[in-house]
Amino acid sequence: MRSDDGRNVTDKTLNNPMSDEELMSQVRSGVGEMLGLLFERYQTPLFNFYLKLTGDRAASEDLVQEVFFRILKYRQSYRVETPFRAWMYQIARNARLDHLRRRKPETSWEPEMSPSVTPTDTAQQAQEAVLLHRALMRMPEEKREVLVLSRFQDLKYEEIAQLLGCETGTVKTRVHRALQELREIFHELQGSGPRAKGSEGAGFRPGSGSVQ
């Protein structure tokens, strides 16, 4: 059930069998060109990571650029043969935190930033995608992040735990709580907007708390 969109594999990277770790080791030892391959592999996943966190395309692109700049700048701090992705996402999170610190007063979510929908989607799916996106944007950043990391970035709970500096069990709990909250917000939004037919679970009402 894990999302299949975690990696964007272009022809260029398909033809290059080198692992992320091998590429990064090369970058570390001064072969900057190899960073181009890592960029091709990760610009889209990182862009989507930021886009789902911020809802802001321009800021997301800035942040992706910042990540690769930092990778280059701090290339010596990459420890050879350790997982590249964990290291990269660590940098990505730090870049995001620095970015937040710099521009505190702005609230990030914008209602007009609705996701684009592929033409094959039905109208109902399109509507649900918009609502889900809005629901995601209404969540506190922390919960949104753990959800985005686990659902879209193709990271294992163990990797996320390492990233957030906590136990794997804690990550699982956080994912679950985030999902609960997302479900609640999603239903609130569905209730307030035009209702999508037949998609709800039987008899559920927002905030009813009938279970447990």
Partner 1 sequence: MKCEEIEELLPDFLAGRLNSDRAVAVEEHIAQCAQCGEEVEVWKKLALLPQEQPSPALRARFQSMLESYQEGRWEKASLAAERKKFLGLGDILQWLRTPSLSAAWACVLLVAGFLGGRYIDRDTSTSENAKKLSEVQAELHKTSQLVAISLLQQQSPNERLKGVDWSTRVSPDPQILDALEHTLRYDTSVDVRLAALDALGRYGHQPDVSRALVDSLGTQESPLVQIALIDVLVDLHETSAIGPLKRLQHESGVNPAVSQHADWGIKRLS
Interface contacts to partner 1, rule CB under 8 A: 1-3, 5, 8, 30, 32-33, 35-36, 39, 43-44, 47-48, 51-52, 57-58, 60-62, 64-66, 68-69, 72-73, 115-118, 121, 125, 128-129, 132-133, 136, 147, 150-152, 156-157, 171-173, 175-176, 179-180, 182-183, 186-187, 200-204, 210-212
Least CB distance to partner 1 at residue 211 (A):
4
Q: Which is nearer to partner 1, 107 or 116 (CB)?
A: 116
Q: Which is nearer to partner 1, 111 or 204 (CB)?
A: 204
- Residues 24-29: contacts with CB under 8 Å, at least 24 apart: 24/71, 24/75, 24/78, 24/84, 24/87, 25/78, 25/80, 25/81, 27/71, 27/72, 27/75, 27/78, 28/75, 28/76, 28/78, 28/80
Least CB distance to partner 1 at residue 3 (A):
6
Q: Which is nearer to partner 1, 81 or 133 (CB)?
A: 133
Least CB distance to partner 1 at residue 118 (A):
6
Least CB distance to partner 1 at residue 11 (A):
15
Nearest of 163, 185, 190, 183 to residue 87 by alpha carbon: 163
Q: Which is nearer to partner 1, 81 or 111 (CB)?
A: 111
Q: Which is nearer to partner 1, 72 or 81 (CB)?
A: 72
Q: Which is nearer to partner 1, 14 or 211 (CB)?
A: 211
Least CB distance to partner 1 at residue 22 (A):
18
